[in-house]
Structure 1
Amino acid sequence: MPRLAARLVRACALGVLALAGSGAALAQAAPDPGTDLGPLTQRWLDDAMSRNQAAGLPLRMEVSVGSLDSRLRLAPCARVEPYLPTGAKLWGRTRLGLRCVEGPTAWNVFLPVTVKAFGPAWVLTGPVATGTVLSAQDAMEAEVDWAEESAPVMANPEMWVGQVAARPLVAGQALRQSMVRAPQLFRAGAQVKVLAQGPGYAVASAGQAMSAGVAGQIVRIRMDNGRIISGTVNESGTVVVAL
């Protein structure tokens, strides 16, 4: 399941986003906006989180609401509608819009919101230097907040075992996609095997790599006759050219 973490993140974020989109149905009375907006918003978000869990989404969600600027003075409002601003998601540090939809004066404000999503992940047991190939012994399973950072958590060991640390990593960090990269299989200038494939045939030859090769990436190869072709590096370091 090479994309499990990203799929779970999207499922949770989109699930909560869909629930949040029904703000008009969840609009509540707020006779004193100066004191009631925080609790009103907390109730609305708690309801969204409860529906999220009832839908069977895989993470344990927690939400906390910040406070408005104390200098704001809002007119009385009989009904306040929460909504998500364009481009916002109920994930990590975000904000929720609140607008007066029934009152003598229309107003619109934003509250800071923090959504945490706790679930299983792999946490480093010690420091890892840049360029180190990760093994199964480098991390242990633990519960972490997936929404603490924007990069998706790698919940399945198949996603990070054998990958290379893209930067210095420290003990206690949850492994995320931005922390690793595929290992380099050959350097620029190296002689590499080239496999040209077409319908019903395959021809093997050799050429010189014009850049370093990483599995899954496209590289350019200079053939013995001087021709330059492009192909995809496979897991064994062979450059596969589709004809």
Structure 2
Amino acid sequence: MVNTAAVRPRCAALLLAAVAGGSLAEPAGLDPAVLARVQQLALTAARAAAPAQARVEVQLGQLDPRLRLAPCEQVEPYMPAGLSAWGRSRIGLRCLKGATRWNVSLPMQVQVIAKVLVASSPLPAGTVIAQDQLQLADTDIAAQSGTVYTEAGQLLGRTLAKPLAAGEAPRSIHLKARQWFAAGEHVLVVAQGAGYAVSSEGQALQAGLEGQEVRVRFENGRIVTGRPVAERRVEVLL
């Protein structure tokens, strides 16, 4: 399972020349050494969350050509907080040494190519996934949100909530939520903390649906809230 969350024309050339320490003239194109530095930052950020064997590709876009930026002796590229390093995103450039400080961002497209399970043929919504409907293929796992899968056991018997095209990777968003138990059933509640875990039985007050919190009542009347994680099993983090 893999839990999958760019440079514009004339002004971009000025910015990237400044990153290399050059003066802000009006070069006709991007400085290759500077472009490599910006791209390396994007690659490093994208690889941090990528599977070990994945191939990461970064395509930088362009700044808005209407921008007019003041000369700058030192420009720093950075990853803006809160923005994803995958898919369609942005990388920041800020002036650290110049008469006027400025801060802009460059659009970028980041692909993370990894071998994951995909549909071997078109599958309609409602399909219960079987082994012969899956195959491994190189896929851009950054193209969409949602967890992708590398082992068939993680998908077999799951029901599709949305259709899949041939070659499309089934993601968590395509799957119907599993129901681990019904309301009223007795479940095992496991409470985990730093270096320890305790367990006790209780009665589920709601159906245990994957990804949704559920309340469980113990014999002494105490009620706790946790997440269903398996058949008749609820996990509570302390």
Tell me whether 1:116 sits opposite 2:111 in the alignment: yes
Partner of 2:13: none
Letter in 2 for 1:75: A
Rounded Cα–Cα distance in structure 2 between residues aligned with 1:118 and 1:168: 22
1:97 to 82, 88, 92: 92
Tell me whether 1:5 sits opposite 2:2 in the alignment: yes
Per-residue deviation, residues 152-208 of structure 1 (Å, max 9, x unmatched): 2112222211111012222221121111134558889xxx975789x9x99xxxx9x
Rounded Cα–Cα distance in structure 2 between residues aligned with 1:196 and 1:66: 52
Partner of 2:35: 42
Tell me whether 1:32 sits opposite 2:20 in the alignment: no
CA contact (8 A) 1:92 1:149 kept: yes
Letter in 1 for 2:39: D
How many angstroms does 1:83 deviate by?
Answer: 1.0
CA contact (8 A) 2:122 2:164 kept: yes
How many angstroms does 1:216 deviate by?
Answer: 8.6
Q: Between the two proteins, what is the percent identity of the paired residues?
A: 35
Judged with a 3 Å threshold, the aligned counterparts in structure 2 of structure 1 residues 83 and 215 are, in CA distance, closer, same or farther, namely closer
How many angstroms does 1:129 deviate by?
Answer: 2.2
How many angstroms does 1:30 deviate by?
Answer: 4.6
How many angstroms does 1:41 deviate by?
Answer: 6.0
Q: SS of the counterpart of 2:21? A: strand
How many angstroms does 1:213 deviate by?
Answer: 6.2
Letter in 2 for 1:136: Q
CA contact (8 A) 1:80 1:101 kept: yes
CA contact (8 A) 2:51 2:114 kept: no
CA contact (8 A) 2:110 2:142 kept: yes
Rounded Cα–Cα distance in structure 2 between residues aligned with 1:185 and 1:122: 24
1:204-215 aligned at under 5 Å gives the runs: none
1:175 to 170, 188, 207: 170
Partner of 2:77: 82
Superposed CA RMSD: 4.3
Rounded Cα–Cα distance in structure 1 between residues aligned with 2:67 and 2:92: 15
Letter in 2 for 1:139: L
Partner of 1:22: none
Q: SS of the counterpart of 2:142? A: helix
Partner of 2:123: 128
Per-residue deviation, residues 68-125 of structure 1 (Å, max 9, x unmatched): 1111111221111011112013211110111111112211111001111111011112
Q: TM-score, normalised by structure 2?
A: 0.65
Q: Which moved more, 1:94-103 or 1:176-185?
A: 176-185
2:143 to 120, 134, 148: 148
Letter in 2 for 1:93: R
Judged with a 3 Å threshold, the aligned counterparts in structure 2 of structure 1 residues 31 and 150 are, in CA distance, closer, same or farther, namely farther
Matched residues, number: 207
CA contact (8 A) 2:61 2:107 kept: yes
Tell me whether 1:62 sits opposite 2:57 in the alignment: yes
Letter in 2 for 1:165: L
Q: SS of the counterpart of 2:138? A: strand
Judged with a 3 Å threshold, the aligned counterparts in structure 2 of structure 1 residues 210 and 239 are, in CA distance, closer, same or farther, namely same
Letter in 2 for 1:152: T
Q: TM-score, normalised by structure 1?
A: 0.64
How many angstroms does 1:42 deviate by?
Answer: 3.2
Judged with a 3 Å threshold, the aligned counterparts in structure 2 of structure 1 residues 42 and 159 are, in CA distance, closer, same or farther, namely farther
